[in-house]
Structure 1
Amino acid sequence: MSPHTDWADSDWADFDAPGEQKLRRKRTKPQGRRKVADLVADDADLVADATIRRLLDLGHLTRVIGELKSGKEATAYVAEGPRGTALLKIYRDLQARSFRNDAIYRAGQVILDARARRAMEGRSRKGLAMLEESWVLAEYAHLWRLWEAGLSVPEPLVGPRPIDYSETVPAVLMRLIGTEAAPAPRLSDVRLTPEEARKAWDQSVSGLADLLRLGYAHGDYSTYNLLWWEDTVTIIDFPQLTTRQSPHFRELLRRDAESLSTSFRKHGLHLGAEATLREVQRRALGPGPTPRVLLP
């Protein structure tokens, strides 16, 4: 996530000023996994889900096709938009996630607004809303930086201005890797020949080195967050990316190397975590991929 976060005064409009009587607000159940039936309809006006209706109204989506995968924090759907087939990732409310402890990834961030910092640290209602929003905005921001730097990541489909992609919260839209009929599988789910396994390993190590060269640790780098399509590895899942400002950076980088090494054993490659880390660090000293040109 971005190391600097500032919150506008409008973000605090519903906070009670000292000495004022607190308003009673209706507490709603945290939004968890959405039902596909609520996301689709022949008539856009009849779509039950408010997030999808907003994305349709903004012109980012034309329809949701179906669910692809449900994870710890979000559910991924195959969708269509003005730029073709898309992957729509919708985050659950923080209280409805099986993964909630993000403190290790947020360590080292500088939050300029003291009230915002206290609200997030105290997990107040407003603080949870800010944390949920920052998780989505961080994924977009990281995707744009990595995409423009030439890394093998999905192309973000909203932005690059934060004012544009902030309108999609709690959803992230990116180009689907694969096809509508056959989305790219995770490396953890495929069978590879020995030659394919070596090729996938080489690309995966280079991908982690590319992240390190930019000053990032992924935080969850394994075959579960690497896609395999047309002999190419694509890195996914970026909201927890950590920068060198974090006191846990070295720990997370080492964990990434260990997770990569361990998860590749299924493909017949048994390289130790320390050797993997040294190779990642060595490659990070070399030249990176060619940056992409962002057309207007």
Structure 2
Amino acid sequence: MSARWLEDELSDADTRPERRQKHKTKKPLGRRRLAALRNEEEGEQDDVIRRLRDLGHVTEVVAELKSGKEATAYVARGPKGSVLVKLYRELEARSFKRDGVYREGQVILDERAKRAMEGRSRKGLEMLQAGWVAAEYAHLWHLWGAGLNVPEPLVGPSPYEYTQTTPAVLMRLIGSEDTPAPRLSDAALTPEEARNAWNQSLDGMAHLLRLGYAHGDYSTYNLLWWENTVTIIDFPQLTTRQNPNFKELLRRDAESLATSFRRHGVGANGEATLREVQRRALGVAPTPRVVLP
């Protein structure tokens, strides 16, 4: 590198203090304010919501439903009825960042993309973000088509369609706008309802295993309860048998399910739960749904 080249680069650079300060203070985008999503604040509406409206997927954001480690869920309206918009934070703004255990075993053919993601460069983080969203859509479409009780995805099934909504995942709202379905962890169940919910939860985990999946975070915190039906949610970390951590993640799911159901009076342990799930996985699969292209 020559001294002349360095002088030229420095002379072309914008060294104004305010520009440097602006660059330094840029923060990753985390939880969005509901007022910004509903266009109640001065200035432009949130870029993501505006894009979803331009694409014809939503017409109005109604309320914030739940904020978690990676994303915030909002209730919205659209041409297909009530919509749940799961809006991911930028990766730097998440409290859940150690996702490598779920991604092991995945094949990335593009070496430059692989290096960028492993190095967590800005471009790599953008690709990880897009991959996280695309994975949830792809899993939702697969599980929905296989007949499992999961929210119906509302964009796709073509990746060309659903990758346009990044960093948002759109699915049909379980429950109603006024009363969205509660998580099982928050639901008040009678002893009979608890046994019913436990049985459905075991079946849900068995159906996932039959398809070759471990959920990665299977507990009452990621199971909804509505009209006596359990619905499984949260799929970006879903992993397959190609993952060397598969057995451990499956065992952890069984332990998490058993532990989280104790508040409902169900006294199972992780090992017994895993054996029962494995037994049920040998049984009859649910009836597949027709997924139109």
From 263, 268, 271, the equivalent of 1:266 is 263
Letter in 1 for 2:100: A
Could you say which residue in structure 2 is the equivalent of 1:69? Answer: 66
C-alpha displacement at 1:42, in angstroms?
7.7
C-alpha displacement at 1:294, in angstroms?
2.0
Could you say which residue in structure 2 is the equivalent of 1:225? Answer: 222
Higher relative contact order (CA 8 A, sep 6+): 1
Cα distance in 2 for residues equivalent to 1:137 and 1:168: 9
Could you say which residue in structure 1 is the equivalent of 2:248? Answer: 251
Cα distance in 1 for residues equivalent to 2:122 and 2:142: 31
Q: How many pairs are equivalent?
A: 275
Letter in 1 for 2:278: Q
Matches within 5 A, 1:138-287: 138-287=135-284
Contact 2:39–2:46 (Cα < 8 Å) also in 1: no
Cα distance in 1 for residues equivalent to 2:89 and 2:240: 25
Could you say which residue in structure 2 is the equivalent of 1:18? Answer: none
Letter in 2 for 1:38: A
Contact 2:82–2:173 (Cα < 8 Å) also in 1: yes
From 110, 115, 132, the equivalent of 2:112 is 115
From 116, 131, 134, the equivalent of 1:134 is 131
Cα distance in 2 for residues equivalent to 1:287 and 1:238: 23
Unaligned runs of 5+ in 2: 1-8, 15-19
Cα distance in 2 for residues equivalent to 1:124 and 1:134: 15
The question of 1:37 aligning with 2:17 is answered no
Cα distance in 2 for residues equivalent to 1:84 and 1:123: 38
CA RMSD, Structure 1 to Structure 2 (Å): 1.9
TM-score w.r.t. structure 2 length? Answer: 0.90
Cα distance in 2 for residues equivalent to 1:60 and 1:49: 15
Cα distance in 1 for residues equivalent to 2:65 and 2:288: 30
Contact 1:40–1:47 (Cα < 8 Å) also in 2: no
Could you say which residue in structure 2 is the equivalent of 1:95? Answer: 92
C-alpha displacement at 1:187, in angstroms?
0.3
Runs of 4 or more, structure 1, over 3 Å off, are 21-28
Letter in 1 for 2:155: V
From 95, 98, 104, the equivalent of 2:101 is 104
Letter in 1 for 2:94: R
Contact 2:28–2:92 (Cα < 8 Å) also in 1: yes
C-alpha displacement at 1:295, in angstroms?
3.8
What does the per-residue CA deviation read over 1:239-284, in whole Å, with 9 as the maximum and x for residues that have no partner? 0000000000000000000000000000001111111000000010
CA separation of 1:66 and 1:47: change in aligned 2, threshold 3 A:
farther
Could you say which residue in structure 1 is the equivalent of 2:17? Answer: none
Letter in 2 for 1:185: P
What does the per-residue CA deviation read over 1:57-92, in whole Å, with 9 as the maximum and x for residues that have no partner? 000000100100000000000000100001000000
Rg bigger for which structure? Answer: 2
SS of 1:111's equivalent in the other structure is: coil
SS of 1:188's equivalent in the other structure is: coil
Unaligned runs of 5+ in 1: 1-20
Contact 1:90–1:172 (Cα < 8 Å) also in 2: yes
Contact 2:30–2:90 (Cα < 8 Å) also in 1: yes
